[in-house]
Amino acid sequence: MLGLMQSQPLLISSLIEFADRHHGDAQIVSRRVEGDIHRYTYRDLARRSRQLANTLDGLGLAMGDRVATLAWNGYRHMEMYFGVSGSGRVLHTVNPRLHPDQVAWIINHAEDRVMCFDLTFLPIIQAVHARCPTVRQWVALCDADRLPADSGIPGLVSYDSWIAGQSDQYAWPEFDENTASSMCYTSGTTGNPKAVLYSHRSTTLHAYAAALPDVMCLSARDSVLPVVPMFHVNAWGIPYSAALTGCKLVFPGPALDGKSLYELMEAEGVTYAAGVPTVWQMLLGHVKPNGLRFSTLRRTVIGGSACPPAMIAAFQDDYGVEVLHAWGMTEMSPLGTLCTLKNKHLELPKDEQMKILQKQGRAIYGVDMRIVGSDGQDQPWDGKSYGDLLVRGPWIVDSYYKGESPLVRDAQGRGWFPTGDVATIDADGFMQITDRSKDVIKSGGEWISSIDIENIAMAHPGVAMAACIGMPHPKWDERPIVAVARRPGAEVSREELLKFYEGKIAKWQIPDDVVFVDSIPLGATGKMLKTRLREQLAGYRLPGL
């Protein structure tokens, strides 16, 4: 027997319609590439998204055609989130930090029909446009008077003139909620990137889940600054959850340095921000030496790579800002777990609470997790046994676009996505990532977590960033070394740092060496690029070998 309730497809257009009707005057503030601050409302966003949808119809784009962006976080990018997907096309956000050859490869693989880009990225477009025959229209995300006269890009138009004159009336079409809505390529540290194709259903369910109190806890009372880029995994779904809650949105545009972020936060009363650890390090690097305080910031979600405990402590103890440690993947839309305490933890001493808050957290409803050993058997949830982390759920990838299904089957035939992470899960369901499986260091038959080693180094006041890698060793297989970028002006020695490890981890886990580097190489999504670091250390030999 079927239930007798209305069946309404979950569509992205319903989010913008809702925001228009119920939060029409809530503000969206953007720092523009031009350098100025732009201010408008969800009502304006909805109106211009409808104009964009009419523009795409006028271009004769079919349902499912890909419309690409190469853009910072800003209001025009947000209009594309709704105008493109809402009208049945697929928004393809391209990561501008990739090499132009990879950008060209991705555009061709996705067969993008339209490419809209911020003027910052004009040089990338100039380098690739001739190699991208599927693109019929190049659009610069700017006002008409900013359009470069001699860009060399055929038929280039400015976004504002492109949508100007279009009707702002548009009846959003209704279609199957499983229709593709947007796509994002993984950053492809090995081989070519893989395309994850999100659907309206996966996106709206993720938007609901992301707004929950134990997840991002977004509300109409918040002023939200997504530093996480809209060009990678839809800025962790914040644009959609924002429309669903009606929070004020503050977009940082291209200015991601600590000073610019801090000033924007203070000027716009930001209560909530989200970003990867490297961004927050820059922010703290500005706030600390200048003796500044956050007057409105209350919570920040930190994820994308392991958040060092020292950073959680700095935000919470020094600035009264709650840190929510989050874990996820492009293949997971991206949120999988978030770390918040349970009721029974509230009476625990602070250091006990802190131990919990360092973990990557509990699964969000909608995400099932398992850890399995090398024999494929489930490992116990005891906080000690580790295994490969597998996940399944309605916003987790089934197959890659033009690619294969990465899923592995369980005894009941259900598909699980292997995350490539190694993790423990404790009895309360708190998951902790030990490592990327390819980064785990195997020493004398035992595993050493590179994240643990990095976290300890990062707690040293002289260390700006640390990356731990395994080096081949004739007796032990591999031994860890830690590459360290010092804080400007800090004088920390190899011996001092090795001593710093004593008593914090077992003796055999202490790195064999410290190598000082100017900076740790970062990838296109702000994560440490250990492959590049290995290349840099190509001639390196462990001490005594």
| Phi, psi of 129, deg, nearest 5 | -60, -35
Half-sphere exposure of 347 (CA within 13 A, CB side): 1
Spatial distance between the Cα atoms of 247 and 241, rounded to a whole number of angstroms:
9
The residue count for the chain = 545
As measured in angstroms, the least distance from the Cβ of 306 to ligand ADP is: 4
The single residue among 303, 366, 470, 480 that binds ligand ADP, judged by CB under 6 A, is 303
366 in Cβ contact with 241 (< 8 Å): no
| Phi, psi of 482, deg, nearest 5 | -120, 125
Spatial distance between the Cα atoms of 275 and 262, rounded to a whole number of angstroms:
13
Compute how many residues bind ligand ADP; rule: CB under 6 A: 22
Name the nearest CA neighbour of 159 among 259, 49, 283.
49
Spatial distance between the Cα atoms of 62 and 89, rounded to a whole number of angstroms:
7
Query: 542: which DSSP letter?
Result: -
Q: Which is nearer to ligand ADP, 294 or 327 (CB)?
A: 327
Residue 530 parent element (H or E): helix 530-536
Helix intervals (H) in 7-74 = 12-22, 42-58
As measured in angstroms, the least distance from the Cβ of 274 to ligand ADP is: 12
235 in Cβ contact with 225 (< 8 Å): no
Q: Which of positions 504-533 make contact with ligand ADP (CB under 6 A)?
A: 525, 527
Per CB under 6 A, which region of 57-65, 171-179, 247-255, 305-313 contacts ligand ADP? 305-313
As measured in angstroms, the least distance from the Cβ of 301 to ligand ADP is: 10
Spatial distance between the Cα atoms of 241 and 106, rounded to a whole number of angstroms:
27
Q: Which is nearer to ligand ADP, 246 or 308 (CB)?
A: 308
Query: 379: which DSSP letter?
Result: P
Per CB under 6 A, which region of 86-94, 261-269, 413-421, 491-499 contacts ligand ADP? 413-421
The single residue among 202, 241, 305, 358 that binds ligand ADP, judged by CB under 6 A, is 305
Q: Which is nearer to ligand ADP, 188 or 394 (CB)?
A: 188
Per CB under 6 A, which region of 32-40, 48-56, 158-166, 298-306 contacts ligand ADP? 298-306
Per CB under 6 A, which region of 153-161, 162-170, 247-255, 324-332 contacts ligand ADP? 324-332
The single residue among 47, 113, 325, 530 that binds ligand ADP, judged by CB under 6 A, is 325
Helix intervals (H) in 121-275 = 122-128, 159-163, 200-211, 233-236, 238-245, 258-267
Rg of the chain over Cα atoms, rounded to whole angstroms, equals 24
As measured in angstroms, the least distance from the Cβ of 53 to ligand ADP is: 29
Spatial distance between the Cα atoms of 45 and 288, rounded to a whole number of angstroms:
36
As measured in angstroms, the least distance from the Cβ of 149 to ligand ADP is: 37
Name the nearest CA neighbour of 526 among 225, 325, 276.
276
Site string for ligand ADP, 374-393 (x = CB under 6 A): --------------------
Per CB under 6 A, which region of 69-77, 251-259, 288-296, 319-327 contacts ligand ADP? 319-327
466 in Cβ contact with 309 (< 8 Å): no
Site string for ligand ADP, 132-171 (x = CB under 6 A): ----------------------------------------
Q: Which of positions 50-79 make contact with ligand ADP (CB under 6 A)?
A: none
Q: Which is nearer to ligand ADP, 245 or 330 (CB)?
A: 330
Q: Which is nearer to ligand ADP, 33 or 440 (CB)?
A: 440
Q: Which residue numbers are catalytic?
A: 186, 331, 442, 447
421 binds ligand ADP (CB under 6 A): yes
As measured in angstroms, the least distance from the Cβ of 518 to ligand ADP is: 23
Spatial distance between the Cα atoms of 96 and 68, rounded to a whole number of angstroms:
12
Q: Quote the tokens at residue 532.
A: 């590049």
Site string for ligand ADP, 357-376 (x = CB under 6 A): ---x----------------
The single residue among 55, 187, 245, 455 that binds ligand ADP, judged by CB under 6 A, is 187
- DSSP letters of 437-491? TTT-EEETTEEE-HHHHHHHHHTSTTEEEEEEEEEEETTTEEEEEEEEEEPTT--
List, in order, residues 6 or more apart from 495 with CB less than 8 Å away. Answer: none
330 in Cβ contact with 336 (< 8 Å): no
Spatial distance between the Cα atoms of 48 and 161, rounded to a whole number of angstroms:
12
308 binds ligand ADP (CB under 6 A): no
330 binds ligand ADP (CB under 6 A): yes
455 binds ligand ADP (CB under 6 A): no
Residue 196 parent element (H or E): strand 195-199
Q: Which is nearer to ligand ADP, 54 or 234 (CB)?
A: 234
186 binds ligand ADP (CB under 6 A): yes
The single residue among 97, 436, 486, 487 that binds ligand ADP, judged by CB under 6 A, is 436
Q: Which is nearer to ligand ADP, 137 or 187 (CB)?
A: 187
327 binds ligand ADP (CB under 6 A): yes
State the residue for tokens 């490869």: 105
Per CB under 6 A, which region of 11-19, 255-263, 321-329, 380-388 contacts ligand ADP? 321-329
CA distances, 315 to each of 213, 297, 527 (Å): 20, 10, 20
204 in Cβ contact with 14 (< 8 Å): yes
433 binds ligand ADP (CB under 6 A): yes
Q: Which is nearer to ligand ADP, 86 or 470 (CB)?
A: 470
As measured in angstroms, the least distance from the Cβ of 332 to ligand ADP is: 7
Which chain residues interact with ligand ADP by CB under 6 A? 186-187, 303-307, 325-330, 334, 360, 419-421, 433, 436, 525, 527
